[in-house]
Amino acid sequence: MSKQVVIVGGGVIGLLTAFNLAAEVDRVVVCDQGEVGRESSWAGGGIVSPLYPWRYSPAVTALAHWSQDFYPQLGERLFASTGVDPEVHTTGLYWLDLDDEAEALAWAVREQRPLSAVDISAAYDAVPVLGPGYRHAIYMAGVANVRNPRLVKSLKAALQALPNVTLREHCQITGFEQEGGRVTGVRADDGVLAADDVVLSAGAWSGDLLKTLGLDLPVEPVKGQMILFKCAEDFLPSMVLAKGRYAIPRRDGHILVGSTLEHAGYDKTPTEDALESLKASAIELLPALADAEVVGHWAGLRPGSPEGIPYIGAVPGHEGLWLNCGHYRNGLVLAPASCQLFSDLLLGREPIIDPAPYAPEGRLL
């Protein structure tokens, strides 16, 4: 059994990995180059579903279904222990005027998910603020969103209360310590941190760190920009999605609208072009937003990966090194299942789902 685990990366994946392992190992240290939870975990929308779940592989679907079922109890557990509510808010989700509606409905039957076609008049009755001109709608009940900045705040508080967990913020990891073919720790800017096992969960930066071992992990930063409006608490009763853009209601009336997909390296600068594009999409989707105040506009970097399938498991040829990264657009969606599966693998337990599709072996270039 591992005595000390060092986790590189303090986003929701790193934090939840630490949370799952803390009761099973002697010590967990989480290192982040900035503040924990302030990168893509903070910047995303928090829909607890892939935007178009039927377009993903069974590997992503398996993680998403497990996580969707688990999120309400995770939110309750964190709220009870920390007093910080992650706000797992079940609203359902309407997709409007899809080109591949038939594929979506066939997927729902195959996967036994509560997604069905609804008359467009029913969508307008349910969401009166919806813009004019939409002709088709499908709806999935039970889809929630999690208020991701509060989720990471709650996870941080839960970990800070555990005596065997250390959070090291503003801790730059520059490489790995090795001995006899085994990874024995990490090199930080202030010295070496020894470990029985090292977990790489550094989001868009994971590939850069693996390059120090001569390994090529196909994970790259993909920029996404979002805007935030403030409306009345009952303004938007359900999440809605059309033409690749979505609106997410928070319980207090904040409405998130996103997002862009940009390949711009590590640049996280919000741009005026994206702001105008997102505003136009928001007003087309929900015309009353033309009169609402934009109270936030930001960008984050997703850890882009082939087909959005994360890397979860041991790195072949480097004993003691593990990956839990590369979740692309679905880190918040897939986090509970990914971190439970990871813990099962590290601790030698029966895994919750088949781990083969996520194994790093054969997938590193």
Q: CA-CA distance, 201 to 211, in Å (whole number)? A: 15
Same domain for 228 and 112? Answer: yes
Same domain for 161 and 286? Answer: no
The half-sphere exposure of 191 on its side-chain side, counting CA atoms within 13 A, is 3
Cis, peptide link before residue 259, omega less than 30° from 0: yes
Same domain for 245 and 290? Answer: yes
Same domain for 29 and 127? Answer: no
Same domain for 297 and 228? Answer: yes
In a domain, 329, yes or no: yes
Contacts of 308 (CB under 8 A, 6+ apart): 50, 56, 57, 60, 327, 328, 329, 330
In a domain, 19, yes or no: yes
Contact 183, 198 (CB under 8 A): yes
Judged against a pLDDT cut of 90, whether residue 62 lies above it is answered with: yes
In a domain, 363, yes or no: no
Q: CA-CA distance, 92 to 144, in Å (whole number)? A: 6
Same domain for 285 and 160? Answer: no
* CATH code of 21's domain: 3.50.50.60
In a domain, 351, yes or no: yes
In a domain, 326, yes or no: yes
Alpha-helical segments (H) within the chain: 12-21, 40-43, 58-82, 101-111, 120-126, 148-160, 206-211, 272-285, 331-347
In a domain, 88, yes or no: no
Contact 274, 225 (CB under 8 A): yes
Same domain for 197 and 323? Answer: yes
pLDDT in tens, 152-195: 999 999 999 999 999 999 999 999 999 999 999 999 999 999 99
Residue ending a domain, choose from 286, 304, 322: 304
In a domain, 77, yes or no: no
Same domain for 154 and 169? Answer: yes
Residue ending a domain, choose from 268, 287, 304: 304
Which pLDDT does position 1 carry in this prediction? 61
Burial of 121 (0-12, 13-18, 19+ CB in 10 A): exposed
pLDDT average, residue stretch 328-349: 98
Look at the chain and report how many structural domains it folds into: 2
Which pLDDT does position 365 carry in this prediction? 76
What predicted TM-score, i.e. pTM, was given to this entire model?
0.97
pLDDT average, residue stretch 95-111: 97
In a domain, 178, yes or no: yes
Query: Which domain range does residue 236 map to?
Result: 93-141+220-304
DSSP state of 287: G
CA distances from 56 to 161, 231, 306 (A): 37, 33, 11
Same domain for 12 and 125? Answer: no
DSSP element (H, E) containing 302:
strand 293-304
Q: How many percent of the chain have pLDDT more than 70?
A: 99
> What angle do the packed helices 331-347 and 12-21 form, to 10 degrees?
30
Same domain for 156 and 300? Answer: no
Which pLDDT does position 114 carry in this prediction? 94
Same domain for 205 and 266? Answer: no
The alpha carbon of 116 is separated from its chain's Cα centroid by a whole number of angstroms, namely 25
Same domain for 260 and 281? Answer: yes
Judged against a pLDDT cut of 90, whether residue 341 lies above it is answered with: yes
* CATH code of 284's domain: 3.30.9.10
> What angle do the packed helices 58-82 and 331-347 form, to 10 degrees?
90
Q: CA-CA distance, 82 to 351, in Å (whole number)? A: 28
Instruction: Tell me the pLDDT of the chain averaged across its residues.
Output: 97
Sign of CA dihedral 198, 199, 205, 208: positive
Residue with tokens 């409007």: 96
How is residue 208 written in tokens? 């850069």
Residue ending a domain, choose from 276, 304, 332: 304
